């Protein structure tokens, strides 16, 4: 057998690699540098032609490259034919030939130039309009193909048609004025359709977020994008929709974004999903708040923006960025717009009342912001801005029982620890068990600290600290208002010139300040009591200084409030204060003559002053009591039925407590029974102790018994009969405030003309008849029956008004539900349309595939 020949296989080619995967090593670079003589052919390559070739075909696909080469070959052939027919070959000496890839030589040709005589006609307008560059291009060797000429003609025809259409439209608009109206109507219809589509889109996104917020949290960004629309109605709808969504999906805790180290850690899929949800929610919420604060400055969006801010602060005061919301609310707490001001005040009051939502932190922050707001505007704000302080609640014995309980628990734990320590000493515990117990103790301490940090309820000491800071800020604001009121007019005008003008009066914050001092008087530090009482005395005397104008002086109601607050402070700190209150009695005695209901004085404040200074407290001196009795009788003759009723109730109370003052009811010649033992009556005396009222007689009661109002006349006649022993127990337990309020309500249904006739007839019968006291009792009972009838009529009237208001509220709710049902029906129709379109598209795809 012959020997087998060895088969020599050719060397295998290297595997094909993509250009991105080819890596040039440092060794390859070094080899090329050392052997440059072998790489000389690379330097001789024509790089310009290569780059020109590559750039022509760089962004083309393989099929397009083939078509491009074919097109180029056809173009060259057509050029050759045209040059052969119309052109003249250029001398090879003047221009070198071109060698193609096939190896053929092509000599360049030049177009024949026919010289035109001077008298020849000129070219077309288009040729004359060509620039120098276009002329050079026309003289060049390359010319357009037939396909390119056809495309150029088509393009020119299309442009001409467009111009004709535009001209016809303008002519129609000029000739037909109805075309403009039709165009506007079409635009309005398209705008309405776009509004309905955006509204439905907002509803869909909001429903999806409420149904599954974790999966659809990305829809918040879409809703924010829609709320940036140019249409104001869409923006308002977007803001309100986002408000409803955020109120529902915001958690009950603050979100803390992970740090960089925490982000680098590997976590589970659930944790990653939660982090994405919280970060998206927080970023969207921040963008929403920034938009609200920006829109709050624009008048067209101010009401909606402030309503959204207040609703968010009321609903989620514990969440992130609550401080920004609080700053925006406090800034508008003294707005000139009644709606915005009342909305902000109601939000702050709700914040003070519901401290369980935020643990009291928001309360302290709000109080400090209001105090700074008052300081910046120099007390020239609306009274509602500090009237919200009356909604604050302070616990006097905060946590005493809890502290004692905690102390007992601590003692018990200490005893247990001592016993455990002794047992551990006696027992021989191994080192392993000791280390285990130490680890357990450390972990328990860490868990306790974490729970303390997360829980909303702060410690008792923390609550005490927050309450003391809040209370100090409140009293600091009150004392600043009192100091501002005591300033002279010249200093106050200079300060107000630099601040924002308030426009709420000379002393707009004094009344709510005095109300707050009266409410929280038991919490004032005793070190400030003396200064406070001196300040109240100065204010009760009439204001800051004698050179003030009447406009800047305090009103009667404000001075009466100062007297009321002084008595409340004294009674709440009775054991620690020793203050002479005679000055306040003198002021009340004189203010009864200065009272004018038609000016700006308030009857409710006067009734409260009468109750606080005269009806409550200890028994008065006989001279002072007699002076006030006489002054109140004179006061009742000068003013309306409500003021007269409050004064007579106070007068009766004083006569019941001071029996000796009933001598004023006697009608002896020359005055009462004590007229010879006391000083002469001085009706214009400033001090009630020096008036000598015991020497006078209450002759005013005889006139008041003929008063046009039956209640006043009945009470006056009953007071005049107190000395004879036939008085009735009329209004014996009623205070001046209640009597004043009852008579104000009666004014609405009381007819003076109707009751004057019955009253005159009644008085005539009383004069003619001399009946016994039992007859007067019967008559009094019939009068009470008439009063009951009046009250019944009033109650029926207010029930009817309440029913009307309830009907209006139900109508609004019905309209709201009907509109929501219509929106839902539109949403269903649109959804059906979209489903039908999707089904049609699927059928078309199936048919095309078949």
- Residues 516-566 pLDDT 10s: 998 888 888 888 888 888 898 889 887 644 445 555 578 888 899 999 998
- Same domain as 631, residue 614: no
- Same domain as 326, residue 231: yes
What average pLDDT score do residues 421-427 get?
56
Helix (H, G, I), strand (E, B) or coil at 807: helix
- Same domain as 642, residue 582: no
Query: Which residue from 376, 369, 375, 377 is spatially nearest to 351, judged by alpha carbons?
Result: 369
Top mean pLDDT of 392-401, 423-432, 763-772 is at 392-401
Distance CA(27)–CA(23), nearest Å, equals 11
Reported as type and span, the H/E element at residue 55 is: helix 47-56
- Same domain as 742, residue 638: yes
Mean pLDDT lowest for which of 62-71, 643-652, 691-700? 62-71
Distance CA(564)–CA(574), nearest Å, equals 15
- Same domain as 675, residue 581: no
618, 649, 675 - which closes a domain: 618
Pairwise pLDDT comparison (99 vs 80), residue with the higher score: 99
Span 225-248, pLDDT tens digits:
988 888 889 999 999 999 999 999
Span 689-708, pLDDT tens digits:
888 888 888 888 888 988 88
User: What's the full length of the chain, in residues?
Assistant: 850
Pairwise pLDDT comparison (471 vs 621), residue with the higher score: 471
Q: How far is CA 279 from the centre of its chain?
A: 24
Distance CA(632)–CA(609), nearest Å, equals 13
pLDDT score recorded for residue 573: 74
What average pLDDT score do residues 398-423 get?
49
Confidence of residue 502 (pLDDT cuts 50, 70, 90): very low
In-domain check, residue 59? yes
Q: In this structure, is the dihedral angle defined by the CA atoms of residues 743, 749, 753 and 755, taken in order, positive or negative?
A: negative
Query: Which residue from 131, 85, 132, 129 is spatially nearest to 109, judged by alpha carbons?
Result: 85
Instruction: Tell me the chain's radius of gyration from C-alpha atoms.
Output: 49
Give the pairing of strands 87-89 and 109-111.
Answer: antiparallel
746, 770, 794 - which closes a domain: 770
739, 770, 801 - which closes a domain: 770
Distance CA(100)–CA(394), nearest Å, equals 102
Residue with tokens 């010649």: 669
In-domain check, residue 30? no
Q: Could you tell me the CA-to-CA distances from 130 to 94, 112, 178, 343, 410 in Å, in that order? A: 30, 21, 44, 73, 104
What average pLDDT score do residues 696-724 get?
85
- Same domain as 580, residue 666: no
Confidence of residue 388 (pLDDT cuts 50, 70, 90): very high
Both structure tokens of 387: 């009237």
Reported as type and span, the H/E element at residue 99 is: strand 98-99
- Same domain as 729, residue 626: yes
Q: In this structure, is the dihedral angle defined by the CA atoms of residues 633, 639, 644 and 647, taken in order, positive or negative?
A: negative
Q: By the 8 A CB rule, do 684 and 678 touch?
A: no
- Same domain as 626, residue 560: no
* 743 Cβ contact list (under 8 Å, min separation 6): 641, 642, 645, 646, 709, 711
pLDDT at 408 over 80: no
DSSP 554: P
Distance CA(199)–CA(192), nearest Å, equals 10
Q: In this structure, is the dihedral angle defined by the CA atoms of residues 251, 254, 256 and 257, taken in order, positive or negative?
A: positive
In-domain check, residue 805? no
pLDDT score recorded for residue 365: 92
DSSP 45: S
pLDDT at 367 over 70: yes
* 607 Cβ contact list (under 8 Å, min separation 6): 646, 735, 736, 737, 739, 740
Report DSSP letters for 523-553, one per residue.
Answer: GS-GGGHHHHHHHHHHHHTTSS-TT--TTTS
What average pLDDT score do residues 158-183 get?
64
Top mean pLDDT of 164-178, 249-263, 360-374, 569-583 is at 360-374
pLDDT score recorded for residue 730: 43
Both structure tokens of 368: 């400090």
- Same domain as 741, residue 645: yes
What average pLDDT score do residues 396-405 get?
44
Q: By the 8 A CB rule, do 673 and 663 touch?
A: yes
Mean pLDDT lowest for which of 135-139, 173-177, 586-590, 692-696? 135-139
pLDDT at 185 over 60: no
Confidence of residue 454 (pLDDT cuts 50, 70, 90): low
pLDDT score recorded for residue 766: 47
Beta-bridged to residue 89, according to DSSP, are 109
**Phi and psi of 32, rounded to 5°?**
-65, -40
Query: Which residue from 368, 372, 366 is spatially nearest to 350, judged by alpha carbons?
Result: 366
Q: By the 8 A CB rule, do 363 and 479 touch?
A: no
On average, the pLDDT of the chain sits at 75
What average pLDDT score do residues 282-299 get?
92
- pLDDT over 90 percentage in the chain: 16
- Work out the end-to-end distance of the chain between its first and last CA atoms, rounded to an integer number of angstroms: 66
Structural domain count, the chain: 4
In-domain check, residue 381? no
Distance CA(532)–CA(333), nearest Å, equals 28
Both structure tokens of 384: 């509602």
Tell me which residue range forms the domain holding 66: 43-86
pLDDT score recorded for residue 350: 92
pLDDT score recorded for residue 135: 46
Distance CA(334)–CA(369), nearest Å, equals 13
DSSP 576: T
pLDDT at 328 over 80: yes
Q: By the 8 A CB rule, do 464 and 398 touch?
A: yes
- Same domain as 207, residue 79: no
In-domain check, residue 700? yes
Report DSSP letters for 120-170, one per residue.
Answer: SPP--HHHHT--HHHHHHHHSS----HHHHHHHHHHHHHHHHHHHHHHHHH
Which H, E and C letters describe 301-322, residue by residue? CHHHHHHHHHHHHHHCCCCCCH
- pLDDT over 70 percentage in the chain: 66
pLDDT score recorded for residue 394: 82
In-domain check, residue 53? yes
What average pLDDT score do residues 260-268 get?
85
pLDDT score recorded for residue 283: 92
pLDDT at 474 over 60: yes
- Same domain as 748, residue 633: yes
- Same domain as 640, residue 607: no
Query: Which residue from 347, 221, 359 is spatially nearest to 288, judged by alpha carbons?
Result: 221
Distance CA(708)–CA(724), nearest Å, equals 25
Query: Which residue from 582, 576, 471 is spatially nearest to 519, judged by alpha carbons?
Result: 471
Confidence of residue 360 (pLDDT cuts 50, 70, 90): confident
Distance CA(738)–CA(744), nearest Å, equals 10
In-domain check, residue 387? no
In-domain check, residue 592? yes
Report DSSP letters for 585-600, one per residue.
Answer: HHHHHHHHHH--TTTT
Confidence of residue 341 (pLDDT cuts 50, 70, 90): very high
Span 577-620, pLDDT tens digits:
677 788 889 999 999 888 887 676 788 889 899 998 888 877 78
- Say if pTM beats, i.e. exceeds, 0.85: no
């Amino acid at each position: 057998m012959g020997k087998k020949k060895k088969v020599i296989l050719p060397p295998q080619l290297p595997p094909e690699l993509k250009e991105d995967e080819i890596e040039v090593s440092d060794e390859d670079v070094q080899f090329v540098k050392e052997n440059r003589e072998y790489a000389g052919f690379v330097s001789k390559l024509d790089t310009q032609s290569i780059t020109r070739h590559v750039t022509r075909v760089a962004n083309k696909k393989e099929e397009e490259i083939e078509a491009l080469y074919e097109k180029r070959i056809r173009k060259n052939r057509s050029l050759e034919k045209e040059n052969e027919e119309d052109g003249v070959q250029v001398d090879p000496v003047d221009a070198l030939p071109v060698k193609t890839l096939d190896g053929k030589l092509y000599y360049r040709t030049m177009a024949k130039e026919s010289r035109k005589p001077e008298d020849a006609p000129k070219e077309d307008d288009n040729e004359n309009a060509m620039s120098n560059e276009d002329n050079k291009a026309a003289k060049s060797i390359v010319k357009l193909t037939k396909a390119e000429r056809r495309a150029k003609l088509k393009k020119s025809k299309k442009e001409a048609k467009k111009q004709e259409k535009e001209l016809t439209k303008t002519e129609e608009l000029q000739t037909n004025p109805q075309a403009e109206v039709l165009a506007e109507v079409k635009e309005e219809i398209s705008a309405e359709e776009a509004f309905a589509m955006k509204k439905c889109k907002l509803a869909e996104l909001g429903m999806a977020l409420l149904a599954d917020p974790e999966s659809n949290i990305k829809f918040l960004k879409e809703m924010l994008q829609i709320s940036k629309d140019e249409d104001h109605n869409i923006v308002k709808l977007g803001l309100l929709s986002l408000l409803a969504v955020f109120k529902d999906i915001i958690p009950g805790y603050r979100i803390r974004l992970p740090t960089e180290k925490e982000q680098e850690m590997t976590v589970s899929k659930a944790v990653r999903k939660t982090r994405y949800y919280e970060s998206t929610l927080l970023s969207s919420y921040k963008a929403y708040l920034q938009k609200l604060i920006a829109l709050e400055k624009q008048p067209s969006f101010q009401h909606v923006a402030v309503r959204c801010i207040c609703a968010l602060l009321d609903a989620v005061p514990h969440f992130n960025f609550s401080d920004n919301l609080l700053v925006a609310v406090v800034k508008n707490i003294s707005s000139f717009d009644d709606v915005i001001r009342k909305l902000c005040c109601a939000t702050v009051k709700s914040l003070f009342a519901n401290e369980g939502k935020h643990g009291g932190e928001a309360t302290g922050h709000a109080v400090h912001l209001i105090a700074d707001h008052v300081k910046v505007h120099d007390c020239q704000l609306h009274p509602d801005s500090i009237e919200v302080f009356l909604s604050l609640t302070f616990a006097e014995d905060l946590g005493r029982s809890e502290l004692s309980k905690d102390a007992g628990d601590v003692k018990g734990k200490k005893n247990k620890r001592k016993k455990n320590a002794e047992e551990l000493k006696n027992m021989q515990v191994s080192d392993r068990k000791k280390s285990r117990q130490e680890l357990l103790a450390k972990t328990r301490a860490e868990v306790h600290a974490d729970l303390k940090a997360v829980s909303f309820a702060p410690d008792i000491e923390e609550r005490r600290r927050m309450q003391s800071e809040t209370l100090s800020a409140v009293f600091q604001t009150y004392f600043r208002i009192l100091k501002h009121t005591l300033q002279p007019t010249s200093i106050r005008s200079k300060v107000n010139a630099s601040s924002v003008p308030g426009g709420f009066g000379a002393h707009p914050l004094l009344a709510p300040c005095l109300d707050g001092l009266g409410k929280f008087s038991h919490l004032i530090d005793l070190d400030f009591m003396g200064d406070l009482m001196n300040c109240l005395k100065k204010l009760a005397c009439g204001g800051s200084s004698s050179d003030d104008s009447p406009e800047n002086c305090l009103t009667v109601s404000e001075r009466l409030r100062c007297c009321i607050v002084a008595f409340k402070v004294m009674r709440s700190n009775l054991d620690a204060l020793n203050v002479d209150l005679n000055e306040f009695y003198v002021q009340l005695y004189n203010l009864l003559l200065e009272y004018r209901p038609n000016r700006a004085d308030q009857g409710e404040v006067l009734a409260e002053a009468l109750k606080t200074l005269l009806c409550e407290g200890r028994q008065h001196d006989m001279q002072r009591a007699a002076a006030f009795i006489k002054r109140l009788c004179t006061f009742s003759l000068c003013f309306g039925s409500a003021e007269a009723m409050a004064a007579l109730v106070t007068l009766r109370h004083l006569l019941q407590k001071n029996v000796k003052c009933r001598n004023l009811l006697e009608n002896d010649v020359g005055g009462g029974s004590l007229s010879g033992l006391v000083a002469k009556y001085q009706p214009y005396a400033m001090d009630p102790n020096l008036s000598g009222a015991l020497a006078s007689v209450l002759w005013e009661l005889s006139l008041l018994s003929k008063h046009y109002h039956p209640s006043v006349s009945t009470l006056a006649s009953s007071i005049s009969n107190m000395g004879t022993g036939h008085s009735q127990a009329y209004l014996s337990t009623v205070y001046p405030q209640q009597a004043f309020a009852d008579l104000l309500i009666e004014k609405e249904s009381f007819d003076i003309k109707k009751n004057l006739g019955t009253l005159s007839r009644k008085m005539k019968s009383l004069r003619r008849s001399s009946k016994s006291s039992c007859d007067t009792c019967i008559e009094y009972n019939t009068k009470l029956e008439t009063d009951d009838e009046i009250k019944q009529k009033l109650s029926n009237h207010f029930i009817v008004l309440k029913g009307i208001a309830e009907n209006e509220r139900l109508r609004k709710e019905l309209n709201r539900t009907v509109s929501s049902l219509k929106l839902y029906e539109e949403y269903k129709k649109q959804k059906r349309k979209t489903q039908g379109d999707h089904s049609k598209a699927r059928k078309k795809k199936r048919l095309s595939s078949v």
